[in-house]
Chains A and B, each alone.
Chain A
Amino acid sequence: MGEYVSLIFDVISASVRQTPSWNLIREQLYHIGVMSFSVVAITGFTTGFVLAAQSFYQLGEKGLSAVTGVLVAKAMITELGPILTAFMVTGRVGSAMCAELGSMKVTEQIDALRSMAINPLSYLIAPRFIAGIFMIPLLTLFSAFMGILGGYLIAITLFHMPSSSYFDPMQIHISLFDLATGAIKAFIFGALLVTVCCYKGMKTSGGAAGVGKATTQSVVTSYILILISDFFLTMALNMIHQQMRYEWMRN
């Protein structure tokens, strides 16, 4: 745990003191962002389908089908968008990061970097970290958008909801706070998954079997940390929001 926390500080310090070259960052932006676009789009879109269908059936029985759009949007923006995007990126990119760094570790390539006076944290991890914390919030927003769009398609084609019933309540019930919640969560999840996967990669030992083991551990650990941090972030952000609302009403 101490080593992991130390790695986070070292990576942030390395990123600030000696900004990695733009080429390295661009390469990671492409791998993390562009290459994850389709998988995030499909995940968000299909989750939107399911959310809209479940909301319509469950809430329709109680005469609340009109909140389908709001429910889909709230869920996608504040919870499912960040979580599903983080999970998808962990599975697609995080595991590959861990395997690549692990393979470099066991074949002495990381030692070769050090022997050439190149800090592996600056050269290998900082570009991934910077690209991760920038791209994952963007992917999350895109996922949420696709979810809302997916829900809309189901709502108007299968349940014959008017467009206005789907979108209009969103203007009242979706606040800037919801968007901030989604973005903050995505930022934290991005930092978590990149650092966990890189840490596991850098600590790999034991040849090819060790690389496989480290990769599995990196994915499982990232998922668990994302879920735990999601709870604490939800609680903390809602408390802050309530406090702000209370202050605003008092004034």
Chain B
Amino acid sequence: MMIRVRNLWKRYGAIQVLTGLNLDVVQGETLVILGRSGVGKSVLLRQIIGIEKPDQGTISVGDVDITTCKKNVLYQTVKNMGMLFQSAALFDSLNIEENTAFYLRQHGDPLTQKPYSESEIKRRVREALAMVALEGTEKKMPSDLSGGMRKRAGLARLIAYRPAILLYDEPTTGLDPITAQQINELIVQTQKELKSTSIVVTHDIHSALFIADRLALHKDGSIAYVADPATFFTIDDPIIHFLKDHLSHKTRKGS
């Protein structure tokens, strides 16, 4: 098991967001987590990558329990992970090339522990930007790009350092259907090329079906169901019924 979450609890003030959540993610799979707004899907991703600590429970990434391990072990574990944020979270004081090269310049080669040569960094940045079709934007600042381009640049930043685990927080939210589909295809392509384990949080059921190996429903602070897409839609649950109806493109007039 690549990621194992057990009995996870998280509260913000008076709001109990996670209530004993359990989740297993298998190495190399793409797990898509669906759920209504505000149920804590993004919170779960932030716990898994160690940005926030849970109030209770354990998160194991490989053999490491990141909720109890020492800070340096946590940093070593997180080095192999990457997250695409909803806003892309590009560093707005750096241009696209510097953003894409950021991790490489900070950490160097994980195998040799030596800094990458500038030519190697440039090559990997060029490849990553080409993969997301952002060639020619190297010297542009994030504020010069559209929302879709920023998401792709965020993805290029991940591709450049090839993490073993990729977390996507609503990667297609706020994008037009064509750009959303481009992002979906990129997620699938990235998955194939990097052979990484991915967790995708989304509201977009079309997107979910395109990229998922398995689907999970996040409901009332925990994961209610996890199944492959075919089985998932046979589950008797009002939210899953709604998603099924939504997929069948019913309009208000029933046409």
B106 touches A111 (CB 8 A): no
Chain A 91-130 near chain B by CB (<8 Å), digits 1 or 0: 0000000001001100111011011111100010000000
Residue in contact with A114 in the complex, picked from B50, B87, B92, B103, CB distance below 8 Å? B50
- Would A111 and B51 count as touching, CB distance under 8 A? yes
Task: Give min CB distance, A107 to chain B, whole Å.
Answer: 6
Are the CB atoms of A116 and B89 closer together than 8 Å? Answer: no
Within 8 A of B (CB), among A25-46: none
Dominant SS at the A interface?
A: helix
CA distance A111 to B91 in the complex (A): 11
Please, how many angstroms separate the alpha-carbon atoms of A109 and B102 in the complex?
12
Number of interface residues of A (CB under 8 A): 15
Q: Name the residue in A100, A103, A109, A112 with the highest tally of chain B Cβ atoms < 10 Å from its Cβ.
A: A112
Complex CA–CA separation, A61 to B139 (angstroms): 66
User: Is B156 on the interface with A (CB-CB < 8 A)?
Assistant: no
Could you tell me which residues of chain B, from 52 to 87, have a CB within 8 Å of some CB in chain A?
75-76, 78-79, 81-83, 85-87
- Contact residues of B between 18 and 64, Cβ < 8 Å to A: 46, 49-51
CA distance A112 to B79 in the complex (A): 12
Q: Are A117 and B87 in contact (CB under 8 A)?
A: no
Tell me, in angstroms, the Cα distance from A112 to B46 when the chains sit together.
10
Once bound together, how far apart are the Cα atoms of A141 and B83, in whole Å?
47
User: Measured between alpha carbons, how far is A112 from B158 in the docked complex, in Å?
Assistant: 11
Q: Give the docked Cα–Cα distance between A60 and B161 (Å).
A: 72
Find out whether the CB atom of B85 lies under 8 angstroms from the CB atom of A116.
no
In the assembled complex, the CB of B107 is this many whole angstroms from the nearest CB of chain A, namely 7
Partner of B89, one of A111, A118, A123: A111
- Kindly report which residue of chain B lies nearest to residue A123, judged by CB atoms: B106
Chain A neighbourhood of B86, CB < 8 A: 108
Residue numbers in B under 8 Å from A115 (CB-CB)? 49, 51, 78, 81-83, 85, 167
Q: What's the minimum C-beta distance from B98 to chain A, rounded to whole angstroms?
A: 12
Contact indicator A116/B102 (Cβ below 8 Å): yes
Instruction: List chain B residues, Cβ under 8 A from A107.
Output: 87, 89, 92
**What residue of chain B has the Cβ atom nearest to residue A108's Cβ?**
B89
Q: How far is the CA of A118 from the CA of B49 in the complex (A)?
A: 12
Check B75 against A119 for contact (C-beta < 8 Å).
Answer: yes
> Chain B contacts of A103 at CB under 8 A?
92
Residue pair A111, B92 in contact (C-beta under 8 Å): no
Tell whether, in the assembled complex, residue B50 and residue A112 are in contact, meaning their CB atoms are under 8 Å apart. Answer: no
| Residue from the set A109, A114, A117, A119 with the largest chain B CB neighbour count within 10 Å | A117
Across the interface, do B75 and A112 meet the contact criterion of CB distance under 8 Å?
no
A117 touches B78 (CB 8 A): yes
Q: In the complex the two chains form, is B103's CB within 8 Å of A116's CB?
A: yes
- Given contacts A117-B107, A118-B106, whether A112 and B78 have CB atoms under 8 Å apart is no
Interface 1/0 per residue, B130-172 and A, CB below 8 Å: 0000000000000000000000000000000100000100000
Which residue, A100, A108, A119, has most C-beta atoms of chain B within 10 A? A108
Choose among A100, A108, A123 the residue that contacts B85 (Cβ–Cβ < 8 A). A108
Known A-B contacts A117-B75, A117-B78, A117-B107; A112 and B83 likewise in contact (beta carbons under 8 Å): yes
Q: Which of B79, B82, B85, B161 contacts A111 (CB 8 A)?
A: B85
Chain B residues positioned under 8 Å from A114 (CB to CB): 49-51, 78
Contact with A along B78-121 (1 / 0, CB 8 A): 11011101110111110000000011001100000000000000
Closest chain B residue to A116 by CB distance? B103
Nearest Cβ distance between residue B96 and chain A, in whole angstroms? 14
Task: Decide if A112 touches B85 in the complex (CB within 8 Å).
Answer: yes
A108 touches B81 (CB 8 A): no
Could you tell me the distance between the alpha carbons of A117 and B103 in the complex, rounded to whole angstroms?
9
**Contact (Cβ within 8 A) A112 B91:** yes
CB distance from B44 to the nearest CB of A (A): 14
What are the residues of chain A within 8 A of B167 when measuring CB–CB?
A: 115
Minimum CB–CB distance from B138 to chain A (whole Å) comes to: 19
Q: B83–A109 contact, CB under 8 A?
A: no
The closest CB in chain A to the CB of B169 belongs to A108
* B contact residues vs A (CB 8 Å cutoff): 46, 49-51, 75-76, 78-79, 81-83, 85-87, 89-93, 102-103, 106-107, 161, 167
* Other A-B pairs, 9, CB within 8 Å; known A111-B46, A111-B85, A123-B106: A108-B86, A109-B91, A109-B92, A111-B83, A112-B83, A112-B91, A114-B49, A116-B107, A117-B76
Q: Which 6 pairs, one residue from A and one from B, show the smallest C-beta to C-beta distance? A: A112-B89, A108-B89, A115-B83, A117-B78, A117-B79, A117-B75
Some 21 contacts from A to B, beta carbons below 8 A apart, are A104-B91, A107-B92, A108-B86, A108-B89, A111-B83, A112-B83, A112-B90, A114-B51, A114-B78, A115-B49, A115-B83, A116-B79, A116-B102, A116-B106, A117-B75, A117-B76, A117-B78, A117-B79, A118-B106, A119-B75, A123-B106
